[in-house]
Structure 1
Amino acid sequence: MTQSNQFIRRRHTFIVDLENDDLIDGKDSFEFTDDNQLIIRDFSTPRQDRVTIPLNAFAPENPFYKALNSVDKFQFTWAKDEKYQKVPPFEEVIEPGVHIDIVEKTESVTDWDSLQQGFESLGINLNSTTMIEGPGTRSYSAPLPSIETLVNKLIQFLCHGEAEDSQCFTDRNDLKYADSLTFNFGRDPLKSNQQKTDLVFEIYWSGSARQKMAEELGIKEQVLTKGIDGASTSQKVEIGLLNTHPSMKIEDELVLTGIIRELGSPHAEKILLNIAPRHLILRDQSYDVKFHKPLGLHPRQQITLYNARPPLNPEHAECSIFAKYTIPKSLFLDKYQLADLDRSTSAKDATGKLVALWGESDLEAPVWNVEGWGSEALVQIFDPKEPNNPNPLSFTPNTKSKFEFVFPLHSRYEVPLMNITVHDEQIAWPLLFWACEKKNYNPADELTDMKFHQESAKKIMSSPFYRSSIGGFNELFGQDVSFHHLEPAQNRLQSSFHIPVVLFSCYNVVGLFTILSILGGFLWIIRKIMAKPVLKKEKVAASPKQD
């Protein structure tokens, strides 16, 4: 950090058991001390931290500072590739691995050298050629099972060695056990205390992740403080001990209750908060993913959906179910083939509709000629009961069912390997979610209908837990659309597959036979073209003259 007086806002939210009074008011689990500290002794509760830091708190020579100052918006998300428990109001599904989205400034050039320098220590090859053009952004994606190298880089960037434990951001050991982490810059301010140049970090730990951390590190208690002695930054630290209200339930809204308290304040404030979350988890709807076998060069990925039905009353909202795919560059999608998903024929019914496809789409390029990291696609899934009338509302509410959706993929030619005939790969599971838009009961005219949807979007964005996302499928939906996510049926959110490759020792032989086959076919075609057909002469009998 620089030596100027800067202001950092930290919010630590714990989802606690409200029926246990000692958990909140007593000294067993959460103790507020007189010297601006919170002592935490309970490690079973989920936790979310939001840290807001002004960009000018960093030295201008910092590579990240220079890079972020050259872009309009920047978003970084990471999540582990295993299923973890999400609780309201933190039910946004973050895709496994690293995902980066950038909106470039129109009047200046992005500092790619600084961005590349900032991420190269993470093993991320971030540059203008590896990124793909997405809906409104340039994006990058890569698997990153471990967050440890990322944690060390963030601590180095954010705290600049001010303290050994670096609580100017959050505890180093805490970060290593996080389930997800997001980092946004340049998002549009929604409140008076927000700035477009703020860096906003959000970190989430499930209860099991915090328990694992406590057991492995031998921690009995943690201390949250308002600041660090000798640090150059001022901090405002707010603590929230919350949960959903046990007796107040609204179809697509949440009522939160509990207490909030700012460190340094002598009293806690009880709250009752009504919010409309944009993301919700459907506990009774799930899905599984597998590949058809044998795989070959044209693998087919099957999604099995269990109990899929609209999460909201069809009279109140229009809901459609979607699958969002993230495809590595070892695979590609044929947009012409996918265009047939919504075409019914005598041989098959319509199964879905390709909504959007972006990224690497060359149908012939081998993997070594593909510069971008891969591609992404958003597909709407149709109700198999009504294939000829793919209305998403035809999913019958309150019925339990199971059906499959098959998605065709294609393998790129891989680099030949020594003594190996297959190349092992992994692909992240697609995200499955319902996208729901509320109905306007009295759409008197276009203007009133527009105001209705604007008010719906405003209520969603007014939540203190709302995160403004850029890039990906978010850009394809209106701001008043809510997402209801199906639960993965497995713990590991990756599918393994293999691509057949030629043996390196046989490469020359295969190449020779390939050339001979092409040459032979070419000569055969030439021979057919050059060969002239022989016409047989037919004798025509002279007709007798007619008088």
Structure 2
Amino acid sequence: MRQRITFVHEPQDGIDPKSIGIHTNTLTLPSLKAAREDQITLSLDELPQELRIALSQTKELHIRYVTAAPYDSIPPFNSRLAPGLHVYYTPKTEIGKEGQEFSDLLCGLIDTLFDLEDKSLCQTPEISFTSLPSKTPQQSGAGYEYYLPHSQLSASGTPPLQTYASRLCDSTTCNTRVSSALSSAYIDLDFSSSTGVSKLTTFWPSQTWDSASVSKIDHTDRVELGVLSNEKPIREDDLNMSGFLTVLGESKAPAPTMFQFPSRHHAHSSRFSTAFIEPTGLHPTLKLSLGSSQPPKGREGCRLNAHLNLPRSVFPDKYQFRDALYLADKNLSALHYVTLPVDLEAPEYTMALWGSSLLVELAPPAPSEEAWTAEIPLHLRYLLPTESGYSTTSLPAPEVFWACDAGEESKLAVNPFDRVNLGYEGLFGEQTLFYHLKPEVSRGQGELYSEVQVPVLSTRFNTEMEIGTAVVVGLGFGWVLRKLWEVGKRSGYGRNEAEGKVVEKEE
């Protein structure tokens, strides 16, 4: 097992390296205000049996769980994903051919890790996953995508993050590390058959750590500790970091270090929030409220995008995005990607796919610090009846970012903290930089979800409605039979009389 613990603080929050305690099997830190990333590298033998069997039969698997609470990012941890569960999966064999064995295991694994509210939400990748194209060779492996919001996780009532963290590993060391993740912003699980190892990455936003202690239980463990600070970079898109590195069992004192590397993900100074325009009905419009229209400094040709993950109760109509005047009125530029196929008529309770995703380019006004809005038209599927006549569904905050070309000279892959396989970045070229706007909660809500009330059939007067419907149908059927009998009686008499006259004439 390998552990890499990284604390990143603002320059004014630094600590004296002499205060880092180095012992035989333990590293200790004094009180420190910093963001933290823990990365644990495990072999298959160190994983729980169900997870080990599933991973041994896959080419690539990337699971991302993101908390619903907003948080502040700090370089080099600026990547963003919508809250909820994201799964990106590549089978060893093409789905539908000889990959059936792992297809059945994958949904069982997801249920084990997250205790799904409804087991039918994930049946097999053939049925419940959607294909995910990629323009990036390094990310071409993430061929299938799956997403669930928080409301569909953890049927037992236990927080999904706690359920997930407690079932990720078997060893005491791993469990000790992961159990502290309940206050984290996200946990990633990455596996690639090319390396044969899995990586668990946990990130906490900046907070005050009263004290921190890192130890190894097994003598074969390798533990690396970094306490770093961001410095002013020489190049605008690079990260320049300095601080101290310590390897437990090897270092006698923290070693000073400084390094610079290009970064794929950056934080933009602007923010955004989302809300549905009232009244919603069955065709709600999601309004994005953005703090400014300023593009990233020093960058030309950047485009502002919104990437949405829509649960199966909500869907887009791609044909609406073909009208240029309609898009201009909504401050939209173009629809660049939508999951296919999207059934425009099916009720939610007949859907097998997890939902759909779409990438929309926004059309910001001239660069300024003034706030502005964009509107994305969506549609609701018919939901199951309820007693009240209404049901509620929620939409996670999208990823909103400026996408800019880094140029061929940037070597983005050398970033040791690079976070890839996020779904949306595969829709762009491999030399794309992302400048993320920070999402904010809507008024009256504490999570990064926008709720919408859906009108459905009421079951309050279900019995009376059934009896009334039966009576009306019966009366109508009786009336129709009577009219047919009356018409038949009249027509039959007239026809016989006419036939009689014809016979007499012939005689």
Same fold at TM > 0.5 = yes
Q: Counterpart of 1:223?
A: 213
Residues 279-327 of structure 1: per-residue CA shift (max 9 Å, x gap): 11112x111211111111111111122212210424xx42100000111
Read off the aligned partner of 1:40 and give its amino acid letter.
L
Q: Which moved more, 1:174-183 or 1:108-117?
A: 108-117
In structure 2, stretches of 5+ residues that fail to align are: 134-141, 481-507
Q: Counterpart of 2:240?
A: 255
Residue from 208, 217, 229 that aligns with 1:243: 229
Q: Counterpart of 1:538?
A: none
- Could you tell me how far apart the structure 1 residues matched to 2:73 and 2:160 are? 24
Q: Aligned-pair distance for 1:376? A: 0.5
Pair 1:465-2:417 in alignment = yes
SS at match of 1:112: helix
Contact 2:328 2:363 in 1 (8 A): no
| Cα gap change, 1:207 to 1:503, in 2 (>3 Å) | same
- Could you tell me how far apart the structure 2 residues matched to 1:17 and 1:473 are? 29
Residues 328-351 of structure 1: per-residue CA shift (max 9 Å, x gap): 1111111111222xx137995873
| Cα gap change, 1:286 to 1:436, in 2 (>3 Å) | same
Q: Counterpart of 2:392?
A: 424
Read off the aligned partner of 2:458 and give its amino acid letter.
L
Read off the aligned partner of 1:498 and give its amino acid letter.
Q
Residue from 328, 337, 358 that aligns with 1:377: 358
Map 1:352-501 → 2, pairs under 5 A: 352-358=333-339, 361-384=342-365, 395-396=366-367, 399-418=368-387, 420-439=388-407, 453=408, 455-456=409-410, 459-469=411-421, 472-490=423-441, 492-501=447-456
Residues 350-376 of structure 1: per-residue CA shift (max 9 Å, x gap): 732000001561111111111112111
Please give the TM-score of this superposition, normalised by the length of structure 1: 0.75
Read off the aligned partner of 1:203 and give its amino acid letter.
T
Q: Counterpart of 1:448?
A: none
Pair 1:100-2:87 in alignment = yes
- Could you tell me how far apart the structure 2 residues matched to 1:484 and 1:244 are? 17
SS at match of 1:26: helix
| Cα gap change, 1:202 to 1:369, in 2 (>3 Å) | same
| Cα gap change, 1:35 to 1:249, in 2 (>3 Å) | same
| Cα gap change, 1:255 to 1:300, in 2 (>3 Å) | same
Q: Counterpart of 1:392?
A: none
Read off the aligned partner of 1:26 and give its amino acid letter.
K
- Could you tell me how far apart the structure 2 residues matched to 1:19 and 1:300 are? 44
Read off the aligned partner of 1:113 and give its amino acid letter.
D
Q: Counterpart of 1:528?
A: none
Q: Counterpart of 1:390?
A: none
- Could you tell me how far apart the structure 1 residues matched to 2:56 and 2:370 are? 51
Read off the aligned partner of 2:205 and give its amino acid letter.
S
Residues 205-255 of structure 1: per-residue CA shift (max 9 Å, x gap): 1233x66xxxxxxxx544211x21xx4x7211110000111x545321111
Count of residue pairs the alignment pairs up: 444
- Could you tell me how far apart the structure 1 residues matched to 2:213 and 2:43 are? 25
Residues 49-105 of structure 1: per-residue CA shift (max 9 Å, x gap): 11111225447xx11112112221101001111111211111111320111111112
Residue from 60, 65, 78 that aligns with 2:65: 78
| Cα gap change, 1:183 to 1:333, in 2 (>3 Å) | same
Q: Which moved more, 1:9-18 or 1:106-115?
A: 106-115
Residue from 123, 127, 133 that aligns with 1:127: 123
Contact 2:87 2:146 in 1 (8 A): yes
Contact 1:312 1:319 in 2 (8 A): no
Residue from 434, 437, 458 that aligns with 1:503: 458
Q: Counterpart of 1:536?
A: none
Q: Counterpart of 2:7?
A: 14
Q: Counterpart of 2:273?
A: 288
Residues 147-205 of structure 1: per-residue CA shift (max 9 Å, x gap): 8555455444422xx4xxx2235435411111111111118xxxxxxx52221111001
Residue from 24, 39, 44 that aligns with 1:50: 39
Contact 2:7 2:34 in 1 (8 A): yes
- Could you tell me how far apart the structure 2 residues matched to 1:436 and 1:377 are? 19
**Identical counterparts, % of pairs:** 25
Read off the aligned partner of 2:2 and give its amino acid letter.
R
Q: Which has the higher helix share?
A: 2
Q: Counterpart of 2:51?
A: 64
Contact 1:416 1:507 in 2 (8 A): no
Please give the TM-score of this superposition, normalised by the length of structure 2: 0.80
